Amino acid sequence: MTSTIDKPDLTQMGTGVAATLTSDEVAAALHNQMIGKTVLITGVSPTGLGAEAARIVAKHAPKLLILASRSPSKIAEVIANLKAADGVDASLTFIEPLPLDLASQSSIRTAVASLYEVHPNLTLDVLINNAGIMMLPEYESVPDAAAQPVEKQFGTNHLGPFLLTNLLVPALLRSAAGARVVSVTSRGYLGSPVKALDDASLIRDTPANRAAYDPFQAYAQSKTGNLLMTVGLANKFAGKGISAYAVDPGAVGSTSLTRSVPLDVQLELGWRLADGSLNPVVPFITAEQSVASYVMAAYDPALADKSGATITSAVVDDSILDYAKDRVLAERLWALSEELVGEKFEY
């Protein structure tokens, strides 16, 4: 179904004075903040930004690097690539794989339980909520959300990271230096506020919602959810040792995120030309340029007093619309999310 909402101007994605900085350049400046940290990255696959995030963290002497993905074979491939990466200790004794499907709340709970079983007193310094899905062409739902299944993009991109982050809070609170939660959003959030805040039934798996399903709007709502969760975390843990930041990764043409988006839709959105090649009008950036923002959000001490901020092109983004940074809306989304995962979190 074609959306009637205004799509964001993709020609503006990935722009900014710092857009050309690379992850290696930012990490070189922040090396002292990176060494000896325990880091967990979700959505790690060879063709995604998670692999680049894993490479740059691995290059700067982490204590423990936990690589999470729903596909163990993809984690294994990323690990194999890291062994050959320049500047990475080829022994990789600091890396631990974690099978995890953010579309399944039972999978999330099982993964976290297994992590605590291996590391009963786990200390987590950085959590990078990188995993996500985009514009599923047909309506799908998350099977085990509390009360009733919900739309899959909202379930995977927002509820999954919400549950995972909250289950890892005990480990995050043990960080001596103060932990950081980095959640990857998208400029696509401009397509929709979290409409479920006005009517929670809009994300339920019903015949009416299946008929009215709009792939882009569903994706946009979930990305607004990432921004509001960041604000919610910043509010709840102010002064308690956990900071939260959102990251807009920009338009990266080399990832598999758009694998669910049909070519004709990518043509309509202006992402690609008729021959399938990337549209040169869109200022696509490299994975290294994109992950520069991850590194800044995860480690830059200059951001210590900016918890709740969004980082775009390795600078603080002050252009985020009100519906994606409002504290009241963030609190309402937090309460709705607790309802949907069937658990209240008190710290």
Q: For the chain, what are the domain ranges? A: 10-341
Output the pLDDT for position 252. 79
Residues 146-197 have pLDDT tens digits of 667 999 999 999 999 999 999 999 999 999 999 999 999 999 899 999 999 9
Active-site residue list: 219
Alpha carbons 169 and 237: distance in angstroms, whole number? 10
Order the strands of the 179-184 sheet from edge to edge.
Answer: 95-99, 64-69, 38-41, 126-129, 179-184, 242-248, 310-312, 315-316
Element (H, E) at 244: strand 242-248
Whole-prediction pTM: 0.90
Alpha carbons 321 and 343: distance in angstroms, whole number? 29
**Residue 59 pairs with which residues in a beta bridge?**
none
* C-alpha torsion angle, residues 69, 291, 268, 217 (rounded to 10): 60
String of b and e for 315-331 (b: at least 16 CB within 10 Å)?
eebeebeebbbbeebbe
Output the pLDDT for position 250. 86
Third-level CATH fold of 10-341: Rossmann fold (3.40.50)
Q: For all residues of the chain together, what is the average pLDDT? A: 89
CB atoms within 10 A of CB 29: 14
On the question of pLDDT at 297 being above 50, the answer is yes
Residues 6+ apart with CB under 8 A from 294: 23, 49, 53, 56, 128, 130, 182, 184, 247, 249
How far from the centroid of its chain's Cα atoms is residue 132's Cα? 6
Q: Residue 22: what are its φ and ψ, rounded to 5°?
A: -105, 165
Output the pLDDT for position 94. 97
Output the pLDDT for position 14. 38
If pLDDT is split at 50, 70 and 90, which confidence band does 10 have? Answer: very low
